[in-house]
Amino acid sequence: MRFGDMSDTDRLPRAEVRLDPAITKGRQARTVFVAHKLRDELRRYAEAHPTGDPRHALFPTQKHPQRGFTPNTCAQHFLTLYRRAGIAHASSHSGRRTFITQLASKGVPVRVLASLAGHRSIATTQRYIDVNDEMKRSAVELI
């Protein structure tokens, strides 16, 4: 992603970011909805990295400052971060799994989850949802 992908003409983070098919895993254009908290963090990040060039990589790397992370480098970076934080058995998809599971536990319908995750099939999304004891406790309290 580039600074211009996530910000408007005033360099303020957008509430919705359109991803070009060329940069998505399934080569499908999608819209990512950005929460207020994340927009605030992105605004602070942009202020700390005032390139002024909308073509500049949002997260540059030392090796490729203009292009930024490749998918493989990003996955490897997350593995390193998780290891340093002492989080065992985590992968680059752990954040996606947590995001989907937390929304599912709050009652968000699986079709909405699939759309947010960019999955074409709800069966794929359902594999991401981890069921835990708290979810089961909440479910039986609905009766």
Nearest to 141 by CA among 112, 113, 108, 107: 107
Q: Is the pTM of this model over 0.85?
A: no
The domain limits of the chain are 1-58
4-44 pLDDT, tens digit per residue, is 888 887 778 999 999 888 877 778 888 999 999 999 999 99
C-alpha to C-alpha distance for 58 and 19, rounded to whole angstroms? 14
Query: For residue 92, which of 81, 80, 104, 78 has the smallest C-alpha distance?
Result: 78
pLDDT at 68 over 70: yes
What does the alpha-carbon distance between residue 11 and residue 44 come to, in Å, rounded to a whole number?
A: 11
Neighbouring residues of 25: CB distance < 8 A, sequence distance ≥ 6 = 71, 118
Structure letter (DSSP) for residue 2? B
pLDDT at 1: 80
pLDDT of residue 52: 66
